[in-house]
Amino acid sequence: MSQFEEYTPDDSSDFDSAWRNAFDEAAETPPPRVWDAIERQLDESENPKILPLWGLGWSASRPVVWGVGIAAAVVLLLVGWWATFQQPGLSEQPVAQQSAPAPQDTESNLATTGKGATEAPASGQAATVPVGPSTPDIAQNDPTESVAGSRRPTESAHTSDQARSERPSTAPASGRPGYQLPADRYAGRRGQVTDRDLLAGSTSRRPSRTTSTPAMGEENRMNATTFAEPTAPSVVPNNIPEPTVLQVSSMNLERLANRPVQFKQLYGTQRIIWFRAPEPTSSPESEQPKNQSRELWASVSVMPGAFNSSVSVRQAMPTPTLTAMNSNAFVQNTPAYDRSTVTSRANFSVAYQATAGIQMNEHWTIETGVGYLQGRSTVESPAQLSSSYVVRTTELQAASGNSSNLYVDALRNSLVTSAGNALNAASDYKGSFVSNTMLSNPNVAANVYDEKTRQATANDYVYVQVPVQVGYQIRPRNRLSFTVLGGMLTNWFVRNTVANDLTISAGDGVYRPVSLAATMGLRFRYRPTQRWSASLAGMYQPSLQSGTRPQAGVSNRPTATGMSFGLDYHF
């Protein structure tokens, strides 16, 4: 070793400085894939990795996905139930007393003092707990962890002291506020400060931060032990029966009775309380992103999807009595109609929406807007039979070419009921239905429907929608972000065109002018620029109430499902 010390004189510095100078300004552009990888890693790092339940291979099969989902729901319910019923028991658990009362002359109070003293070590132990976590926090915040990160704390402490004694640190303590522009600060030193100084400063600064806390902790722990000693004789294990405690206390009282009174209370109860100073409220640096995060955006979107009106007939249509009819086999077999006889299925729908949103904080958003929904749905219901009793109806139907079935008739019946004018309704709707007023006279006509012969009727609904949604962004400030959306949707009914023939508007008294629906979904937003972004959202909008009035003969609960494509502008 001595040979090397002899060998490394000043003349070797020329060799080293020549190498140093050769690499001083050396630069080589890395391939573009490096930045791509960095960007990808930055995007991924801000979200914990989620193992998708739908997975790959066999786990992607539908039964497994549903099974896992149901199992998870059951487990959550069980845990929730368990937590709910376990909660009252928590109050029965003992709570550690924070302070020991001052000793009094009565035995009961002495016993209390003894109890309190038994808990003193526990509280003292708890008070020292914060010492531990503070050290790793500091270590984790230092990006240069790889030099000293893997070192053992004792080694680190030793080397830091050694380093401090060997050479003074040129770098000031970390966390010192006050930024000076590098040009001002280093202009005069650029030629003097070498990398060696900077790097040496860094290595000496880091251990000094990590070693200060354990040293203090050790010292104070010793102090805590010293202060705890006066109370130590009164420490009684919990498992000793209470009478023994009282006996010991009374014996102590007798001993103390002969001694002069000394006011040791002035300094008798000394306790080291580890107190972590509150963090500075918030620095301007940390406030800046918060203010900037409250941004506004406006977006337009189109949502193709499926719309199902979920229609049912609210009341059974009057069934003709046998005496009022001939021995017509069809009529005799006419079943009693109920809501299950009418079914509806979803058809293509499209919704256009213009929304505006505001970012409340880093994750939460609120948005609202206005939309136009054109939803198509097909209703299948028993068709009307042709019989001698329905001659008029059939003839009129044939003449007009209109369909007539249970659903359409119920709808028209509702219209007439609400309008209170059967004649007008009959002339308006070309006589293809028989109203309740007509049914009062069974000899005139009666609608008879065949359950086996079903007729499909197209419905074309138009709504104006006003959504109010709350969103939770899973990846805020990322180029690709996810938002879970949920909220309410106000559907303003405009019209429903049934079989391209019957148009029912909001004023006809069949449909509610305003009905409420829930809206929920998941939105992906890709934001390549600061101002513009594109979004793709899967939305589900079930109705929360019937879309028709209570007196109407039909009821519907429309549900819209679709995939929304949007373009957003961020202000």
Partner 1 sequence: MLDEYALVEGCRRQDRTVQRQLYERFAGKLFVVCKRYVKDPDEAEDVLQDSFVKIYRHIGSFRFECPLEAWLKRVVINTALKHLRKEKPWEHTADVQEMAPILPQADESLPSLNYQYLLQLIQELPPGCRTVFNLYAIEGYNHPEIAEMLEIAEGTSKSQYARARTLLQQKLRNEQRVRDESI
Q: Please list every residue from 138 through 157 that binds partner 1, using CB under 8 A.
A: 141-147, 149-151
Contact 53, 75 (CB under 8 A): no
Contact 296, 355 (CB under 8 A): no
Q: What is the contact mask toward partner 1 in residues 39 to 78, using x (rule: CB under 8 A)?
A: x-xx--x---------------------------------
By the 8 A CB rule, do 308 and 558 touch? yes
Nearer to partner 1, 49 or 255 (CB): 49
b/e code 367-400 from CB counts within 10 Å (16+ = b): bebebebebbbbbbbbbbbbbebbeebbebbeee
Helix (H, G, I), strand (E, B) or coil at 27: coil
Q: Which of residues 157-186 bind partner 1 (CB under 8 A)?
A: 159, 163, 166, 171-172, 174-176, 179-182, 185-186
To the nearest whole angstrom, how small is the minimum distance from the Cβ of residue 470 to partner 1? 24
Q: Which is nearer to partner 1, 176 or 276 (CB)?
A: 176
Query: How many residues interact with partner 1 (rule CB under 8 A)?
Result: 73
Q: Which of 29, 98, 281, 443 binds partner 1 (CB under 8 A)?
A: 29
Smallest distance, partner 1 to C-beta of residue 147, A: 5
Residue in 420, 386, 411 with CA at minimum distance from that of residue 312? 411
The amino acid occupying position 12 is S
Closest approach of partner 1 to the CB of residue 153, in Å = 15
- The stretch near partner 1 (CB under 8 A) out of 4-12, 53-61, 128-136, 295-303 is 4-12
- Distances in Å between the Cα of 270 and the Cα atoms of 175, 217, 261 are 33, 17, 19
Q: How far is the CB of 206 from partner 1 (least distance, A)?
A: 11
d(CA 6, CA 492): 93
Minimum Å gap between C-beta 544 and partner 1 is 40
Radius of gyration of the chain (CA): 41
Taking the complex as a whole, how short is the minimal distance between the CB of residue 7 and partner 1, in angstroms?
A: 6
26 is a site residue for partner 1 (CB under 8 A) = yes
Question: Which segments of 361-421 does DSSP mark as H helices, in order?
Answer: 391-400, 406-419
Residues 322 and 332: beta-carbon distance below 8 Å? yes
Terminus-to-terminus CA distance in the chain, angstroms? 68
Closest CA to 488 of 469, 464, 462: 469
- Which residue do the tokens 């793709």 mark? 536
Spatial separation of the C-alpha atoms in residues 247 and 87, rounded to whole Å: 38
Is 31 a binding residue for partner 1 by CB under 8 A? The answer is yes
- 38 touching partner 1, by CB under 8 A: yes
Site for partner 1 in 195-214 (CB under 8 A): 195-196, 198-203
Only segment of 71-79, 288-296, 395-403, 516-524 that touches partner 1 (CB under 8 A): 288-296
Minimal distance, residue 6 CB to partner 1, in Å: 10
Told to check if 242 binds partner 1 by CB under 8 A, we report no
